[in-house]
Structure 1
């Protein structure tokens, strides 16, 4: 009896494929469905070419994978620079780098890179200065890298009557002729107006024009902390004001938030002698001011709480001092006739000495130092802000940036030394970033429309 298996011949194994009839292997069967069909010599030749093509494609894929792995292990220098260093440069340098290639232009213009640069660049680019009455001026440490397109801030509506009040991580707080507030980015000429703050705000009219005058009873600070995960970072404007003229020295706080789009009044108050206008700085999201009784008043808008700590030098009426930020910490630069000392505030509320430099001509000057003095004359401290450890000082018509960690110094000439410079002049540090100035989420007539000048961005 025959079975179903007897109907098929026995299998014979070959080097390429199994043949059921004992003959030569079928090239089309060995190649699969995608191989050439047919049974002639030409078909065998086509199958050989097909195998060569498949082998070449596999080799190309393997080569691409190996090249990719080698590129990850040892990338080209241009890729390393673009990935790890480009976002640390100021705006003006990045605008020049856009001309390197179309790829770089697209990379630098991408919103995610602009946000990364505003979060990563923390070096002071220059300083705004102003001698009232007059338009502001700007002096960069490096004109090719840290310059701004319009140092006079002419893109603001109230120009030329503009006063730079405070800064924070690339944004600048300004006041107009009616003491209206503006928040702008001088590096990109973006700006927005801030709604008029609520009372107390003494208002009177001159020739039918309303003018706001607080009699110097308010002190302001700008808070802006870019977040790596938030493309629309929030900025806050904090106003410290005397609650009542009959009770001097008692201060409340008004806070404007760009996210909320409105002002609110704090529930906490602070009793001190007098806050010094023009001393407001931002440190770790907290607004800080100097006082006439040599204390530091700080207000945290998130926690809605304030506190007061004494300055680090004790009782010394001859010392001059300013506040600033280094790496998110509140710091204080104190200058006497014999030394320049820089302190940082620790979490317990105590001051820690970071660096001390001698001043020539002081009481301790002489051969006992062991090292030459750093300053030939007594400098004056300025407000400062840096992601590193740089403090700003005024020395004989120059602004000196001194890194207290490395001891390195850089300088920029502002103007000739004179009594007008350190008397009424005000200095505001600036960090050149692509920080965006988003409009407030409010509507109403108090928001000014953008002018054609303000719409021009250096992008």
Structure 2
């Protein structure tokens, strides 16, 4: 089967999606050919009227501003797994203009084997084959995927591994040029007795590397993984946050912010590129968001700063409400099991978007956040040596089906 092309906008709806979707006829399909709509004539006229020969209203020259990066994309939806068959699925938030952003294949049914969704960061999703145990990186919005070389260690000997996708920081000397940013797939796996080790894959070297260090943290919570500031972060059962830096091959654990002492329900997330902790009390009377300053942490200074606080919003006094991981824009994401609804709120507590109510109950609430993008996996950038190594390490595991995969995709192009 040849690799799927995406020259026109298209979607493949999931008839088993448990979300109540009355407006699925209004779809924003994503493809590799997506472009930004051009400005209307009225918009152009407004801009011309507001710009008077490069001068402001007081006669001073308008200083040229340096280009600003685009604002972070809001959360597009969440992946889940069914209870009955453990298959993956996808639920989309009701986006702006009463439209939903769906993905072509929410079940990943085009893969050569059944897969489980493990992690997602900035449009790239890491899944694991149920038959071979191999890892894939995919962009489900553009229908592209790559099979990673075989990892060296057994990641499941003592329970499920904790997997995170994280991108290299763009301001480092290792950042790629021409809009290409490399990523790491970081796996924390249990060696038994509360001892955890790390193995990470780099799209830059196209190789796995086993860490020389270990961490003793009792239990890592696999469903808490977050990729931010070039590192992978997880919650632990001892109240600490574990992180691993794949570029420096360094791991450490540090305490959660002291605010969780009075707001004991807390979750990790990524907001606008930074690691954050969202915490609340049992009745959701108050929700607080704190952001991590990594430089302060490494220098021994208090690393947490307040990002927002509100009184629970529409879920105030819901004793069974749960925090979910955030990603992208500054939002708090919660799960309301009473109404079977996912709720996204801004940092003032205003509800911005929802998913649900869900209808058939065939879902596991360990949701995985997803920010849709057209991040391109560029197969042509992998050199011949890495291409041969990837093929040699993976082809025996999949037989003839290996020929259907794009085995030579080392990096993501960020738009």
TM-score tier, shorter chain, comes to: 0.5 to 0.7
Per the alignment, residue 264 of structure 2 pairs with 319
Give the Å deviation of 1:358: 2.8
Give the Å deviation of 1:445: 3.1
Match of 1:432 among 361, 372, 378: 372
Give the Å deviation of 1:195: 1.8
- The answer to whether 1:381 aligns with 2:330 is no
Alpha-carbon displacement from aligned partner over 1:272-315 (angstroms, at most 9, x marks no partner): 11111222110111100110111100111112212211112567
Per the alignment, residue 352 of structure 1 pairs with 305
Per the alignment, residue 184 of structure 2 pairs with 236
Per the alignment, residue 334 of structure 2 pairs with 393
Give the whole-Å Cα distance in 2 for the aligned partners of 1:417 and 1:375.
Answer: 26
CA contact (8 A) 2:169 2:230 kept: no
Give the Å deviation of 1:193: 0.8
- The answer to whether 1:162 aligns with 2:115 is yes
| 1:445 to 1:308, Cα distance in 2 relative to 1, 3 A | same
**1:161-240 mapped onto 2 (5 Å cutoff):** 161-178=114-131, 179-201=133-155, 213-216=156-159, 218-225=161-168, 227=170, 229-240=177-188
Give the whole-Å Cα distance in 2 for the aligned partners of 1:298 and 1:291.
Answer: 10
Match of 1:92 among 30, 55, 58: 30
Give the whole-Å Cα distance in 1 for the aligned partners of 2:282 and 2:245.
Answer: 34
**1:283-294 mapped onto 2 (5 Å cutoff):** 283-294=228-239
Alpha-carbon displacement from aligned partner over 1:405-443 (angstroms, at most 9, x marks no partner): 68452112161496x75xx53211111111122456342
Per the alignment, residue 130 of structure 1 pairs with 81
Alpha-carbon displacement from aligned partner over 1:376-418 (angstroms, at most 9, x marks no partner): 51421111211x3112111231111112168452112161496
| 1:323 to 1:98, Cα distance in 2 relative to 1, 3 A | closer
Per the alignment, residue 289 of structure 2 pairs with 342
Match of 1:446 among 380, 383, 393: 393
SS in 1 for 2:180: coil
> Which one is further off, 142-151 or 186-195?
142-151
- The answer to whether 1:265 aligns with 2:210 is yes
Match of 2:108 among 146, 149, 153: 153
Alpha-carbon displacement from aligned partner over 1:170-195 (angstroms, at most 9, x marks no partner): 10011111332110001011000112
Unaligned residue ranges in structure 2 (runs of 5+): 1-27, 39-66, 171-175, 298-302, 396-401, 409-415
Give the whole-Å Cα distance in 2 for the aligned partners of 1:313 and 1:415.
Answer: 35
Alpha-carbon displacement from aligned partner over 1:10-48 (angstroms, at most 9, x marks no partner): xxxxxxxxxxxxxxxxxxxxxxxxxxxxxxxxxxxxxxx
CA contact (8 A) 1:331 1:345 kept: yes
Unaligned residue ranges in structure 1 (runs of 5+): 1-89, 101-115, 202-212, 360-371
| 1:315 to 1:432, Cα distance in 2 relative to 1, 3 A | closer
Give the whole-Å Cα distance in 2 for the aligned partners of 1:275 and 1:435.
Answer: 29
TM score, norm. by length of structure 2: 0.67
Match of 1:279 among 224, 236, 252: 224
Give the Å deviation of 1:249: 2.0
| 1:196 to 1:375, Cα distance in 2 relative to 1, 3 A | same
> Which one is further off, 268-277 or 316-325?
316-325
SS in 2 for 1:197: coil
| 1:195 to 1:410, Cα distance in 2 relative to 1, 3 A | same
SS in 1 for 2:78: strand
CA contact (8 A) 1:93 1:145 kept: no
CA contact (8 A) 2:138 2:146 kept: yes
Give the Å deviation of 1:226: 8.2
Give the whole-Å Cα distance in 1 for the aligned partners of 2:277 and 2:331.
Answer: 11
Give the whole-Å Cα distance in 1 for the aligned partners of 2:112 and 2:403.
Answer: 9
